[in-house]
Each structure stands twice: as structure tokens, then as C-alpha cells.
Amino acid sequence: MSDKTFIFGDDCKVKEMGNNTFDIYSVVEEATSEGVKLVVAFDLGGAYLSKANHPDKYLVAEKIVYDFAVEQARELVRLKIEATGKILSGFEKELEGLEKDKSKLESDITDYEKKIAESKTAIDVNLGNQANKKTEIVGIQAALVELEVLLNSIK
């Protein structure tokens, strides 16, 4: 049974501590600058584990608590690695999108530069066509003046 601050282990058995079962009571205290504090008591069924009365069992229990603390610290780091990995993955996807956008923009610039060059060439051709057309207009206007003179000369 456990909640966020209290952990209870009922009828636990560890070979190194003997054949009898025991209960474990533990409390997780508020976080400090160094982390959280875990207070643990082992009820051996009539007596609580103490270094003075149960030196061999105490060393085993100390190792159990130490191993538990190490595993919890590792799990916390694993969770941070997982969360950081997700953040990294998101950033990498964003970077990939930005790189794709840049490539598209560069392609657009190339296309626009090509269209600008084509338009400049088309303007040059257009100016030549305008000059030719003006020449043709001047020629037709001259022919029209001659025809009007001819018309007026007919009497």
C-alpha cells in the first residue's frame, strides 16, 4: 500500500534477513535542496530493526534502502531523459520544417530571378516591336497624307 508520501510493505521476505517475514514502513518527506528524504522502519514482528540489536540484518536493510533510492534516482533521470528526448525530437522536427521552408524560399527566388530575366528580355523585344510599329504607323500616316493630297487634287 502506498500514497504519495507513505509506503508500506506487508509480509516482506528477504533471504539475507532470515526466514521470517517483516513489514516496512516508510515516509517520503518534503524535497530539500538535495532531494527528498526517505525515512524507513523495518518491523521484524515484535521488534524494530536497529543497528545495535540486529547488525547483520541492518546491513542488509541498509542495502535494500540504498538500492531502492538508487533505482528511484535512476528512474527520475530516465524520465527526464525521455522528456528531454521528446523536446529534442520536437525541436528537430521544427528545424527540419525551417530548413524545408528555406529551401522552398530559395527555389522561389531562383524562379523569380528567372522570370525577371525573361521579363527583361520580353521588354527589350517589346520595345523593338514598338519601334517597328511606330515606323509602320509613320509610313501609313505618310501614305494617308498622300492619299488625301491625291483626293484633293482630283477635280
Structural domain contains residue 82: yes
Determine the pLDDT at residue 4: 64
Q: Whole-prediction pTM value?
A: 0.60
Statement to judge: residues 45 and 60 lie in one domain: no
Structural domain contains residue 24: yes
Statement to judge: residues 65 and 87 lie in one domain: yes
pLDDT greater than 90 at residue 35: no
Determine the pLDDT at residue 3: 56
Q: How far apart are CA 6 and CA 28, in angstroms?
A: 6
Please state, in angstroms and as integers, the Cα–Cα distance from residue 33 to each residue in 30, 36, 37, 133, following that order: 10, 8, 11, 89
- Name the DSSP class of 50: -
- Judging by beta carbons within 10 Å of its beta carbon (0-12, 13-18, 19+), is residue 9 exposed, middle or buried? middle
Of the residues 49, 64, 88, the one at which a domain ends: 49
Lookup: cell for 118:
525573361
Q: How far apart are CA 111 and CA 6, in angstroms?
A: 68
Parent domain of 34:
1-49
Mean pLDDT along residues 27-47: 86
29-38, 87-96, 127-136: which has the minimum mean pLDDT?
29-38
Q: How far apart are CA 73 and CA 67, in angstroms?
A: 10
3-7, 18-22, 68-72, 100-104: which has the minimum mean pLDDT?
3-7
What is the number of structural domains in the chain? 2
Statement to judge: residues 60 and 43 lie in one domain: no
pLDDT greater than 80 at residue 5: no
Structural domain contains residue 139: no
Contact by Cβ (8 Å): 3, 24: no
Beta 35-43 vs 22-32: how paired, if at all?
Answer: antiparallel
pLDDT greater than 60 at residue 70: yes
Structural domain contains residue 131: no
